Amino acid sequence: MLLTLAALQFVSMVDFMIIMPLGPELLTALGIDATRFGWTVSAYTFAAGITGFLASPLLDRVGRRSAYLVLTLGLLACTTGCGFAMNHPQLLALRCATGICGGLHKAVALAIIADVFPPEKKGRATGVLMSAFGLASVVGVPFGITLGTRFGWQAPFFVLGVLGLPLAVLAAWTLPPLTGHLGSGTKRPPGDFVATLILPPHRWAFALVATLMFGAFAVIPYISTALVANIGAKETQLPIVFIVSGLLTFVSTPLVGRLVDRRGALRVFCGIVPVSAAMMMLMTHLPRVGPIGAIPVAALLMASNAGRMVS
């Protein structure tokens, strides 16, 4: 079951990430500038955030498997639709639709882990799920870049749509119904949702996650464009950056999950955050060092960012 969730997480992460390294090609193909490209990347996250806020009271009213399968099919349909976009407004709208399904898809996957795995194994299970980010960087993104440069930027989206269909069937077979939460969740009044939002410990938790996301995605979507424009890398060298970053992330995230189970999430988090902050500052102040100088910085940045999300 965990491998099935991780495999579909891989598809979801490649779909989320592939738009970033395709930036130089999209700027030319769609005739857009860096600002509109930034909105294209951010549309996914904005849509996921808004929909997550509005749909969260409803997610506990249905079985986890049913919700997960519906969102999986919606994600695959929207991903495939991105390949049919003819201009920037169409692509922007489809990235919003993909974000609606993709954000909830990740949330339900984490809810399934919370329901199934005991507390002493949650860190390890979350680390395996998050390792899909590393695998997406190692395999998915470089392969997507190759497809995009040879067959057009639309090709990766078509391939992801086809790849995800058998995984959706596998999920329907491997996931249990997971309806144990329905006994009381369906009868909760709307006031409970408001109380969840305004409870002081929850407010700090939401603020923390929002800050992490803001800090990461103010920089990460522009790494590929900056590598080409400012640091001296060629577009053909971009897959190397993602392969090295993905390998480090793929190895490090399960280890972080094990550390969380052994040492506690807070201690691990406090150890990773300074590393992430240092890499963020270094990445945004790199001179024209070429890909050799930029690769280890980008790799440590992505790996530390994934590690702090696990913790």
Instruction: Dump pLDDT digits (tens) for 17-50.
Output: 888 778 777 888 888 887 888 888 888 988 998 8
- Among residues 54, 98, 61, the alpha carbon closest in space to that of 76 is found at 98
Q: With cut-offs at 50, 70 and 90, classify the pLDDT of residue 151.
A: confident
Instruction: Dump pLDDT digits (tens) for 107-139.
Output: 899 889 888 888 888 888 888 888 787 777 677
Q: With cut-offs at 50, 70 and 90, classify the pLDDT of residue 72.
A: very high
User: Residue 223: is its pLDDT beyond 70?
Assistant: yes
> What would the mean pLDDT of 148-171 be, rounded to a whole number?
90
Instruction: Dump pLDDT digits (tens) for 176-217.
Output: 887 777 765 445 555 677 777 788 888 898 898 888 888 887
What's the CATH number of domain 2-310, 1.20.1050.10, 3.40.50.1370, 1.20.1250.20, 1.10.8.80?
1.20.1250.20
Angle at 13 between CA 24 and CA 48, to 5 degrees: 95
